[in-house]
Every structure is written in structure tokens, then in C-alpha cells.
Structure 1
Amino acid sequence: APHAATAGALALLLLAAASAPDRRIPEVSTPGQLDVLVVSIDTLRADALGCYGKADAQTPTIDALAAQGVLFEDATSQANTTGPSHTTLLTGLYPAEHGARSNGVRISNRVRTLADALARTHATAGFVSGFTLVDEASGLAERFDWYDDQMLAWRWMPRIAERLHLVGAAIRFAERRGHEVRRPDRPAGETVDRTLDWVRTRGDEPLFTFVHFYDPHVPYAPPPEFALLHGADPKLLDDPKARNGFNWYEITTAQREALVASPDAVAHMKALYAGEISYADKQLGRLLAGLEAAGRLERTLIVLTSDHGEGLGSHDYWFDHGSFLFDEELHVPLIVRFPAAAHAGTRVKNQVRLLDVAPTVLEVLGLQATLETTGESLLHLAQGVPDERKRPSFAISDLAGNVSGFDIGGRRISLRASGSKLIWSSSHWLDTERVEEREQYFTLSNDPDEQTDLRAGGKTPALPYAEMQHVLGEWRERTKQADGTGELDRDLLEQLRKLGYL
């Protein structure tokens, strides 16, 4: 049963959803008087939630939030790794614009964030739970009045280990030298505790709080009761390797292949992933209950989203992300709960993007002029105003980044628009400097799981493929050397406008 305080917050959410269908955002005497809470649950697929259609989901807090808020059914991320995606969330810019194109690459000093934009009207704080968002890897701390990224002594870790995702190797290196090293993250419960401690120290000033939960990310290690909630094998929960997702980053390729060949092992892993999400949902309930106790919940604009999804086998890609640009990695939840439950129960079908979040927050607060973004406000969609614009979504995967002049993992870019998806990818080989390029094209309207590549089958329709190929090609070339100046090529943007993409 939910904790009493959490249950109280849930009851309040559900009551507001049931009783306030015609309410509007309360008038404020000065811009920015509302509190803002942006919560990102790392590695959370949209289809893992009850409000997005998963019948056996155990996500009561998020589902209640959606019932009394606005749910965007088709929200996409602009990157499939944590650092670039969260920087897009907080800037309203594409990775090529803000400069953080892969994990471990810090945001450009020339780029402003939502925290910067709200600095004059709000006390600002960020509470992060994964090592890719610590200040040394992200450069975000100086943008906030308070930034809590204290998880473990990652300060000594060589930057190259962060950038190449060599987490396991770095941990073993430290342990051999006598360092005591915890997981490179902290549980959501600890992050909630620290967030509420900060909230309780504030007076009546408006707050902007960014909260990041890392839990659904591998290794999947939910508290046992949450794993059992989804049918995890009780016997395996006594096995340390099985309990934390078989240390997916630690085991060999042969061990991974053996694991995914076992239906029981796959079912156990999926139960652990679902358990992580249920645990994060419970902690979100604690956070909302704490805001209610502080008298802040009803004055808070709440945004709930994720940085990216997770591969669960549909493209033979298991329990990971960052390598492909299929929707299993890019389709993320986006729920906006307005103060006084304005627009409760609204579901928006239009394609929207994470880079639209920052301008949406600023328009609600009446502070649009404080931040230049490529993203567009979604407030009119929440209010039910029709909008037939294409609102394309570009996404990138730069994987390990550039090392000694070689892009080890290659480069991938996708364009999602007009009910279709075009993916361009290149692979770079260190031994010969050989480059292989490939295109994949999917019609999402009748192939939402992206199982039929029309390029491979020779059945690519003339339109919109030709138009999308041209736009993606221009985007690829013009952003190849982008360095985070905060501006894309003006000629490229003008071409996109003429084609109806902006």
C-alpha cells in the first residue's frame, strides 16, 4: 500500500482531475510567480506507463498526474543519450546548437538554459541522480543557484572514461587502488530527500526545480518488492548478478547472447526494468506529497518526461540505448500538469519534442523573451487550439564522440515528420578509416514499430521520402561542424521554413 503521505498526494491529484475540467491557470500579479518542477525519469519508454496504454503497468502517480494534466501522445527526444537529451530539455535547442553532442561533453558557455532564464524571478536548483549529469560531465551546475550532484567521488575519474562509457572499467581501476566506489548514481529516494530538504529551506519565493531520477537505467536493481510486483523470479533475486540486471555492462557478448536466448531470463530482466519504473513512480509520489505538505503543490507547473527510452528486443537490441534511433529509444512520455489542474484530461496527438518544453514553460510564466529557443511553445496545443504544422523532430546519436580524430561509434541522424521516419547512419572503422553509410525509411502510420524498412525493400515512396532525404542531408552537412554557438545555419533554417518544416 502507498505511504500515507503519498496516498494523500495521489488523492489530491485524482480529485483535482475529476473536479476541475473547466478551470484555467490562475492569474498571477507578476510574471514568474508560479513554481516550476521539471522531473525527468531516465530511460523511461512512453509505452511502459499505464497512461500510455500499458495495461499491467504499476504507475499510479504518473497516471494520476496525466489524468489531471495534459498528456502529449507523440513526444520525441532529440538524442538517445542522457547528457545531450537533458541539455536539449533545459535549453530548447538541438545538440548541434548547445554543443553537448555526446555524454561527457559540456554545454557551451555561450548557451543559456531555462535556469538562466528564470534566475531573476525564481530560486533555481537541480538535483541529479546519474554520473552523466554531474557538473564535470555536463557543465550545468553554474546555471543553477544550487546544484546537487553528490553521488560518489567521480571527480578523480579521467574524462576519457566518462566519454567512452567505460564505467565498469573505471570502477575496477579505482577498486584496485583502494578506492571505495559506489554505483555511479543514487536512488530516486535519496534524490527526493535532498530535493525536499532544499524546498523546506525556501520562503515564499517562486522556485524552479529540476529533478532527475536515474533508476530505470541499467543495471536494473529495484527494491525486491517492486521487482516482485512485476513477476521477477524470487530465486534470482537472491543472486547478486541477477538482482541488478545481470550487470549488463559487465558481462561478455557471449553471456548476453545466452541471456537473451532464455525466455525466463528475458522475462526477469523486463520485470526488473518495470520494477525500477514503479519504484521511481513511488518516489515521484513522495516528492509531490512533500510539495503538498509545504503548501506548494497547487501553485506548481509540473513537467514529467524522460531523456530517452530503452531497447527491449524489438530490433534485437536488448536492455540498452544509445546505438540506434528507433522510436523505442526516442518516444518519451511528456505530461504537463498546470496549476489548478487547468486543461485536465487533455491528450494531444500532434508530434512534439523535448526541445519544446523550455519555451512552453516560459510562455506559461509570461517570460518568453528571456530565452531564445529553436523549440516552440506547446501551450496552444494544451489549450486545444488546432495546429497543423509538421513540427519535425531531428535526433542524433554521436555515441562515444570523437576520439583522436575518429568517431568510433559512427554518427546517426533521424528525421521524423509527416508520419514517416528517415534514419541516416555512418560507421567509421579505426583500422582502415573506412566509412559505411546507410539509410532506413519507415512509414510510422502503418508500421509504428519500425519493422519494415522500405529502403531495404525497394518500395520507398517518392513523397515524402525525397523531400525528407533532402532536408536530412542538408541538416547533416550543416551541423557536422556545429560547435555549440547556439545558432544553426540561417540558410538551412530558411530552407526548412520554405518546406513547411518550421
Structure 2
Amino acid sequence: MTRQIVITLEGLSVDAIGCYGSAFNQTPTIDAMASDGFVWDRLVCHDDRPDVVLATLVSSRHGGLLIDDGTTPSVGRAFDLVQTMPIDSADKSVANRVEDTHFSRLVQSLDEAVNADSPAERIWLHSGFLTRHWDAPRDLFPVDESWDDWGDDDQEFLDTEPPGTVSGGAPQSETDGEGACPPIFEGVEPPVHPVVANDPVDLIMAWMRTYGCQVRLIDQLLDRCVDLADQIDATLILMGTSGFNLGQNGWIGHGCGPLRSAQIQVPLIVRTPQGIHHDVGMRWPKLTGSQDVAATVIADDLVDRLPFTAEQWAADSDDAFDPMLVTQTETADRCVNTGGWFYVRDRDQSEHLYLKPDDRHDHNDVGRLAPDALDRLSTDG
């Protein structure tokens, strides 16, 4: 049986991770994991509710230790032991040191579990702090860094016009209005903010820096997790159970606004003790549903399943509709990802179609140019 340390995080955006092409944030530990590990480039959640995604992952194996912050108590039944460290919602202060953060306390519990007399074969750490409690020290993201090297993709979604109306009734943040905003925000409350015309011009950037600070906290503490995995010869798995809007489609926040790729595309990186293939990393570029991760990655025989065969990796389908992944959601009427398309029908019955994987941030709606694809994806028939 392969030992595993699994780390799952709600609200983990691919856009803030270096090995996924982030142009504004630095994640050296995660990038090092990817350099000799296995990276899924296009992993999409089969449900837009992170608790459902986590429950599906956990259901594939039973036993071991769960360390969490009480985000999804129902999954605890699948473990032999559960250690819960709830987020202190009354604490509104940003930590002065990495060691004082909520996520650091979870990692400390992981450290103790690994160094126990008989560590569990499977140790699972899950946190929702990215969606609820931004307490990372702000000096993790120095605000005097240069912002001249933006990639075209990242600039593209920053330039996207926000929608004329907003949905969901979510409250706007206190930063609404014209004028300057701080280069990075100091509060612990994550934003739920529809981008509006009179927002300060630097608002999205300020929130991206603040979010990037939280991801840098994860990256710094993952350095210790890598050491712990090596200590017990364990496979280390990092995965998001939901994404995060960083300005795409006119919203900043978790699970807010119309359902789009930023909310359901998540990172997955696997690092085995021996390296995936002679210390050379591999990437899986094809559409994968999060429900498939349970049967493959979170499995006793993971090492035997990875890497995928060269034939599988090289195989190319001419059918842009294959595979077809329908995401279950309560915020849209229908959401479908395929090898070449992303289709979503919003609650107001408006239909949207984006070319994948090229249109990374759902920037260009091509529905009127591809009516046949629109029609085919609109139903299960």
C-alpha cells in the first residue's frame, strides 16, 4: 500500500500558481513539486459545491486520519480518526508570522501525525481558509514588486468588460467607488465583489495581490509538507476542490457571479517519492473530471497507475465533444465541458459557448458562430 499525504483546499485558483502560468504570483514549492511530479492541466469539478467534490474524493478510500477545520464534517465518517481545528471567526487580525496563521496550525498537526509512533497510511488535510479567513502576513507579497511582465492571458481577463447587471444578490465590498485603493488589503474577510464601472482602477490588482499572499502562505508551508512526505516515503497530493474568481467575468470572490471556468477549474499536482519518470515531470493536458480523481489518484495503487502510458498521452481525438463532462450546479441551468468546448446556460436562460482550451478565461463567447455546437451541448440527447 502506498502511503499518502493528501492536501485539499477550497477556493484554490490555478491563476495564482506558477506552474499553471501565473504571471502575478510566485509559488516555488508547488512549482518544484510539479517539476518532477504529475500535473493535471485541465481538471474540472464535477460539482460546483466543494463539499460534494471532497466527499467524492474521500469516498474512494476509507481509514486514516483527517485534519480539517470543520468545513465538511460529513466526510469524517470515512476516516479512523478526525482532528478538527475550527477557524476562529471572531479573530479579525492578520497574522504577523506564518507560524501564527490558521493554515500553519493545521500543518503543525500534520507534522505531529507524521512523527507519531505509528503514522497513518493515509493522512488527509483539508481547509477552507481561502474562502473564509485570509490571515496570511501581508509581507509575504511585497507591494513594491514590478508588474510590468503581465502575460497576454492575464491581461485579457483584466480588460474584460464587466456585465451590465450582476446576479445572485451578493453584497458589494466596501471598496466600491472611485478613488485610490490600497495596494494590498489588510482585512481577513475574503471579498464577494461584483466589478462595477466606478471601482478604483487598481481594485482587481489589489485583490489579486491579497489572494496571492494567501497562496504564498500555502506554498511556504508546503515546503514542510514535502519534507514530511519524504520522511515517511509518502506520495504528496495537492488539489483544489473549487476555484476562485480574480476578476474574470466581472466578479472577485468564491462561488459568486455567473458560473464560469474560474470557479470549477482546479489544480491537481501529485509528487511520488521516486519521482514520476526519472525526475522529469509530466503534464496531463486533457479534460478530466474531479470524480475520476477518486478512482485513480486517490487509490492504493496510485504508483502503478501513474504515469499514464505514452499511448494514452499522445492519443488525440478529432471529436471536440469527447469527452463530455457535465458539472452539477445550483447556480446555472446547465454547465458542460468537452475536449473542445465550454458551454453554460445561466439561470436567466442566456447561453454561452467558449473554445477550449485556448480561451482560458472565457473571454470570447462564440455561441453565435457555432450554433450547431450550441445546440448539441444544450441537451443530454
Q: TM-score range by the shorter chain?
A: 0.7 to 0.9
Q: Distance in 1 between matches of 2:37 and 2:357?
A: 26
* 1:195-214 map, 5 Å: 195-203=110-118, 207-214=121-128
Q: CA deviation at 1:258?
A: 7.2
Structure 1 partner of 2:328:
396
Matching residue's letter, 1:460: A
Structure 1 partner of 2:345:
424
Structure 2 partner of 1:174:
none
Q: CA deviation at 1:445?
A: 4.6
Q: Distance in 1 between matches of 2:53 and 2:84?
A: 18
How high is the TM-score relative to the length of structure 2?
A: 0.76
* CA distance 1:379–1:391, change in 2 (3 Å): farther
Q: CA deviation at 1:286?
A: 1.6
Structure 1 partner of 2:191:
248
Structure 2 partner of 1:360:
296
Q: Distance in 2 between matches of 1:187 and 1:383?
A: 44
Q: Does 1:190 align with 2:70?
A: no
Q: CA deviation at 1:128?
A: 1.7
Q: Does 1:440 align with 2:374?
A: no
Q: Distance in 2 between matches of 1:365 and 1:199?
A: 21
SS in 2 for 1:282: helix
How high is the TM-score relative to the length of structure 1?
A: 0.59
* Count of residue pairs the alignment pairs up: 333
1:447-494 Cα shifts (integer Å, max 9, x gaps): 332223234xx33342x43332232xx6xxxxxxxxxxxxxxxxxxxx
Q: Does 1:223 align with 2:133?
A: no
Structure 1 partner of 2:150:
none
Q: Distance in 1 between matches of 2:270 and 2:341?
A: 26
**Residue 222 of structure 1 contacts residue 279 of structure 1 at CA under 8 Å; is this kept in 2?**
yes
**Residue 29 of structure 2 contacts residue 223 of structure 2 at CA under 8 Å; is this kept in 1?**
yes
Q: Distance in 2 between matches of 1:191 and 1:333?
A: 20
* CA distance 1:318–1:363, change in 2 (3 Å): closer
Q: Which has the larger radius of gyration?
A: 1
SS in 2 for 1:413: strand
* CA distance 1:81–1:378, change in 2 (3 Å): farther
1:58-91 Cα shifts (integer Å, max 9, x gaps): 211100000010111111122333212222333x
Q: CA deviation at 1:217?
A: 2.7
SS in 1 for 2:202: helix
Q: CA deviation at 1:206?
A: 5.6
Matching residue's letter, 2:349: E
1:88-147 Cα shifts (integer Å, max 9, x gaps): 333xxxxxxxxxxxxxxxxxxxxxx1332xx3xxxx011123x432x1xxx111211111
- Structure showing the higher helix proportion among its residues: 1
* CA distance 1:383–1:275, change in 2 (3 Å): farther
**Residue 41 of structure 2 contacts residue 267 of structure 2 at CA under 8 Å; is this kept in 1?**
yes
Q: CA deviation at 1:335?
A: 1.1
Q: Does 1:265 align with 2:265?
A: no
**Residue 302 of structure 1 contacts residue 337 of structure 1 at CA under 8 Å; is this kept in 2?**
yes
* 1:447-462 map, 5 Å: 447-455=359-367, 458-462=368-372
Matching residue's letter, 1:468: L
**Residue 260 of structure 1 contacts residue 266 of structure 1 at CA under 8 Å; is this kept in 2?**
no
Matching residue's letter, 2:60: L
Q: Distance in 2 between matches of 1:356 and 1:230?
A: 42
Matching residue's letter, 2:206: H
Q: Distance in 1 between matches of 2:337 and 2:263?
A: 13
Residue from 380, 383, 389 that aligns with 2:308 = 380
Q: CA deviation at 1:316?
A: 0.7
**Residue 231 of structure 1 contacts residue 271 of structure 1 at CA under 8 Å; is this kept in 2?**
no
**Residue 325 of structure 1 contacts residue 396 of structure 1 at CA under 8 Å; is this kept in 2?**
no
Matching residue's letter, 2:220: K
**Residue 190 of structure 2 contacts residue 253 of structure 2 at CA under 8 Å; is this kept in 1?**
no
* CA distance 1:285–1:348, change in 2 (3 Å): same
Structure 2 partner of 1:23:
none
Q: Distance in 1 between matches of 2:117 and 2:227?
A: 17
Q: CA deviation at 1:287?
A: 1.9
Q: Distance in 1 between matches of 2:105 and 2:225?
A: 11
Structure 2 partner of 1:115:
61
Matching residue's letter, 1:140: V
Structure 1 partner of 2:13:
45
* 1:73-222 map, 5 Å: 73-90=41-58, 113-116=59-62, 119=63, 124-129=64-69, 131-133=70-72, 135=73, 139-151=74-86, 181-182=90-91, 187-203=102-118, 207-222=121-136
Residue from 236, 240, 246 that aligns with 1:306 = 240
Structure 1 partner of 2:334:
413
**Residue 254 of structure 2 contacts residue 263 of structure 2 at CA under 8 Å; is this kept in 1?**
no
Alpha carbon RMSD of aligned pairs, Å?
Answer: 3.2
**Residue 45 of structure 1 contacts residue 328 of structure 1 at CA under 8 Å; is this kept in 2?**
yes
Structure 1 partner of 2:379:
470
Q: CA deviation at 1:269?
A: 1.6
1:286-318 Cα shifts (integer Å, max 9, x gaps): 2222344xx31xx21222111121111121112
Matching residue's letter, 2:354: F
Q: CA deviation at 1:271?
A: 0.8
Q: CA deviation at 1:244?
A: 1.8
Structure 2 partner of 1:500:
none
1:146-181 Cα shifts (integer Å, max 9, x gaps): 11223168xxxxxxxxxxxxxxxxx7xxxxxxxxx4
Matching residue's letter, 2:370: T
Structure 2 partner of 1:59:
27
SS in 1 for 2:57: helix
Unaligned runs of 5+ in 2: 93-100, 147-180
**Residue 239 of structure 2 contacts residue 268 of structure 2 at CA under 8 Å; is this kept in 1?**
yes
Q: Does 1:274 align with 2:212?
A: yes
* CA distance 1:391–1:39, change in 2 (3 Å): farther
SS in 2 for 1:262: coil
1:169-218 Cα shifts (integer Å, max 9, x gaps): xx7xxxxxxxxx447xx721000011121222242x66111112434335
Q: Distance in 2 between matches of 1:259 and 1:212?
A: 37
